[in-house]
Structure formats: structure tokens, C-alpha cells
Amino acid sequence: MLPQIPEFQNEDEEREFWATHDSSEYLDWSQAQRVVFPNLKPTTRAISLRLPESMLDELRALANQRDVPYQSLIKIFLRERIDMEYGKGLAISERRPTYKTGES
């Protein structure tokens, strides 16, 4: 029989416990089941990105044609490009940007 997991007062206490204990001593992982949380949204972080005004105008026009916010279109374009780069199996050091501006 497996020992019972103690009750914790807070997350710090629980974190400290699991840092010094092996979960296999408390849980029968052979009985574990995969769980999917379909409604969870990924954590996002706001960033500042400098773009030439002409590029921003083009993005806004494309977004308008697709009836989506231009920030969403930028995320779509980035996701597609990241997927394409990983699909090619290129190491990060081998990847090269295809668009450069004089601004950083």
C-alpha cells in the first residue's frame, strides 16, 4: 500500500515536499490516465516589436481582407513560419531570417 500524500498549507510547502520526494513512492503511475484540458489558453506575454510603417500598413490591409485583427494575423504568420522551419528540421543556428530592416 502506498503512503498517503500529505495535505499542504500552500504551494511553497508542496513544492518543497516534491523537491525532496519521489512521486513513484506515493502514486501508482501504471494506473495514470492521460487528461486533456481543451479550454486552457496558453499563457501570453506582451512584447514590443518595431516594424516599418509600410509593413504594418500591409499587415493591416491583409488582416482587413481576412476580417481578423492584424495582431492575430501576425501570430498566424509567425506560427506558420515556425512550423515550416521546424518541419525542415533546421537547427536554430542554421535558420536565417528572410526579412531584415534597418531597425531592431
Residues 68-97: tens digit of each pLDDT: 999 999 999 999 999 998 886 554 445 444
Calculate what percentage of the chain has a pLDDT beyond 90: 60
Residue 63 inside a domain? The answer is yes
Asked whether 51 and 99 are in contact (CB, 8 A), the reply is no
Q: Is residue 34 part of a domain?
A: no
The C-alpha cell 516589436 sits at 49
* pLDDT for 95: 47
pTM assigned to the model: 0.48
Whether 88 is in a domain gets the answer: yes
Q: Which residues contact 5 (CB under 8 A, 6 or more apart)?
A: 26, 27
Residues 91 and 56 in one domain: yes
Instruction: Examine the domain organization and report whether 57 and 20 are in the same domain.
Output: no
The secondary structure of residue 21, as a DSSP letter, is S
Q: 4 lies in which domain range?
A: 1-29
In a domain, 43, yes or no: no
Q: What is the pLDDT of residues 23-54, one digit of tens each?
A: 999 999 888 898 888 888 888 889 999 999 99
Query: What is the number of structural domains in the chain?
Result: 2
Compute the distance between CA of residue 63 and CA of residue 70 in angstroms, rounded to an integer: 5
Task: Give the 3-state secondary structure of 49-70.
Answer: CCCCHHHHHHHHHHHHHHCCCH
Residues 6+ apart with CB under 8 A from 25: 2, 3
